[in-house]
Chains A and B, each alone.
Chain A
Amino acid sequence: MQLTEGKVAAALSLLAAGLLAPMAGHAQEASGGTDAGVSAPQRAPNAYDETASEPGTLVADSAVLFYQEDDDRVRAIEAEAGLTWNRSNGSTFSIKGTFDALTGATPNGAIRSNSVERFEPPQQRAKAADGELCPIDGCTSSSGTYTIEPGKLPVDKTFHDRRYAVDVGATVPVAEGLKLSVGGGYSHEFDFTSRSVRTTLAKELFRKNTTVSLGFNYEYDTIRPYFGIPDALGDMGSYSVGKSRLKKVYNVVAGFTQVLTPEWLVQLNYSYGHSTGYHTDPYKLISLVDRSSGDPFFSLYERRPFERNRHSVYFGSKLALGSFVTDASARWYRDSWGIKSVTFALSEHVPIGRSFYLEPGVRWYHQTQANFFRYFLYLDEPTPRMASSDSRLSRFGAWTLGLRGGAKVASNIEVYGSAERYWQYGLHFDRTLPGNLATTDLFSGSKSISVVGGVRVTFR
């Protein structure tokens, strides 16, 4: 089912009404008697120099993301709203709801061709009216079939989804300097359901200058592709081999946070993730190419390993100079699929006047390719055990340039937002390839713009 503009507009109107209602109520309070509310902040040069800890409050936080990829590819609207209750004894309880709507076109994994390419989903065996089994396309008129013009990147134009998610969490002090956090999440899409539970234990040491933590997360996913589970490395359009598959993800994070000076805080995390089950993208294909002409001939469904192990080390630093704060981070990652990546991010919190801030930031990411990544397969080669042409498993880099900002518009209301430009870069042409492949653009990475707007209201 495609989202209509009217439905999106209606959803946004409802959300906007929800966001603005508390602001209207508190605007009067802010303009009428602000003395009590601003007595403490008046001492701080900027609103964001005020203390973050607010025991005995209920905080409502809502935000909306607009995401658009270039060339009319994926468009997403994601809204989330949450409540956090900060109790005076140091415990916190939170609940958050998220809604995503995605439309547009996403690369299907096949390479560009000099002729029209036709793509079709797996066929499902379904019961016809007379009880006979038949391909679902033959019994109904549902399709999922599309064609791509010569020279164009093959994209699945039927891509659309909606996601509803809820997350709850609680943090309670269990002893002096020791806090226990527990939480869980549930997320549902047309073709995917995820449930997760998590727990973290954090201990403060050395006059609260050091915090060590250990957390565990377990996620249980069900994948139900629209047209069933494709026959991995089988021919495009062949019969599906099932309706759903499972995936389990285990994740452990060991964290260490250290105050180096009264103005400098650093964080070091080690994360290990282990997942088993269905990792294959059921919508991705891989082209079979004729070695002499270099033209794609047909497509197969991709296949990924049953298991994946991930390791990452994250380092973060926050350094204050007056009311300015420099935020720097780095992440090193590798996994059992042969992918290694590095990520660096840098941003600067710039106070403006008494109530505003701006935060320009830059992020750079680079990854190597998975050991089973192939842009295509040759017709005359033996079919490998695993193969995927998903560009997210290829070697590429990405830049993000962004600007965040926020303002404290009343004693209990903050508005915030961000605008970001993200673009991937990587190999476009390999001149050593045979025939037309040498002049075929192999790149299918994305470029996007995202804009976020949010409001946070604190009830005391």
Chain B
Amino acid sequence: MLGAALSLGGCAHMGAEPWQRDVLARKSMQLAREPAILSFDEHTYFSKEAASGGRSFDGGGCGCN
């Protein structure tokens, strides 16, 4: 999977040039936009569902599951 992904990344027509990165740099484009809300949501889902993690490390640091 990593090999396929890296070859995808190396494709000449893919991506953005340094002068085209203004949209990617926006606050609204960040992967973890509001960390506190994400953290609360992850905590709730960790305590109510069997699956966890994916976006980052699983485990919850709490005895709620």
Measuring CB to CB, which residues of chain A are less than 8 angstroms from any residue of chain B? 46-53, 61-63, 65, 67, 78, 80, 82, 100, 161, 163, 165, 185, 187, 189, 191-192, 194, 196, 198, 205-210, 212, 215, 217, 219, 221, 223, 249, 251, 253-254, 256-263, 265, 267-271, 273, 275, 310, 312-314, 316, 318, 320, 323, 325, 327, 329, 331, 333, 335, 337, 339, 341, 343, 349, 351, 357, 365, 367, 370, 392-393, 398, 404, 406, 416, 418, 420, 422, 424, 446, 448, 450, 452, 454
Contact = CB atoms under 8 A, between A and B. Distances in A.
28 contacts: A48-B28, A51-B27, A61-B35, A196-B61, A198-B57, A210-B9, A258-B9, A259-B14, A259-B15, A262-B20, A265-B31, A271-B54, A271-B57, A313-B54, A316-B55, A318-B31, A327-B33, A335-B51, A339-B51, A341-B49, A357-B28, A365-B45, A365-B49, A370-B50, A416-B37, A420-B41, A424-B48, A448-B48
Interface string B13-46: 0111110111111111111011111011101110
Nearest to A414: B27
Contacts of B14: 209, 258-261
A354 to B, nearest CB: 14
Interface of B is mostly: loop
Contacts of A314: 53-55
Given A422-B44, A454-B34, A212 B6 contact: yes
Contacts of A80: 36, 39
Contact of A260 (B15, B23, B63): B15
Given A192-B63, A254-B2, A207 B18 contact: yes
B24 A265 contact: yes
Contacts of A418: 34, 37
Contacts of B58: 249, 251, 271, 273, 310, 312
Contact of A333 (B5, B20, B30, B51): B51
A320 B26 contact: yes
Given A63-B36, A320-B23, A367 B63 contact: no
Contacts of B53: 251, 253, 271, 273, 310, 312, 314, 333
A353 to B, nearest CB: 14
A87 to B, nearest CB: 18
A223 B17 CA distance: 51
Contacts of A310: 51-53, 58
Contacts of A365: 45, 49, 51
Nearest to B45: A365
A325 B57 contact: no
A215 B55 CA distance: 12
A223 B63 contact: yes
Given A49-B28, A316-B31, A256 B57 contact: no
Contacts of B65: 392
B1 A270 contact: yes
Contacts of A422: 44, 48
Given A253-B57, A349-B28, 10 more contacts: A62-B36, A161-B63, A196-B61, A212-B5, A258-B15, A259-B16, A310-B52, A316-B55, A325-B29, A341-B49
Given A189-B62, A271-B57, A262 B21 contact: yes
B26 A312 contact: no
Contacts of B61: 165, 185, 187, 194, 196, 219
Contacts of A454: 34, 36-37
Contacts of A82: 36
A392 B48 contact: yes
B16 to A, nearest CB: 4
A342 to B, nearest CB: 9
A53 B25 contact: yes
A256 B2 contact: yes
Contacts of A404: 34, 37
Contacts of B34: 404, 406, 416, 418, 454
A192 B9 CA distance: 44
A398 B45 CA distance: 10
Contacts of A61: 35-36
Given A48-B26, A320-B28, A205 B6 contact: yes
A448 B9 CA distance: 42
Contacts of B33: 327, 349
Contact of A210 (B6, B31, B63): B6
Top 7 closest pairs, chain A to chain B, by CB: A192-B63, A209-B15, A210-B9, A314-B54, A63-B36, A333-B51, A262-B20
Contacts of B23: 262-263, 320
B16 A262 contact: yes
A192 B31 contact: no
Contact of B31 (A161, A165, A257, A261): A257
Contacts of B41: 420
Contacts of A351: 28
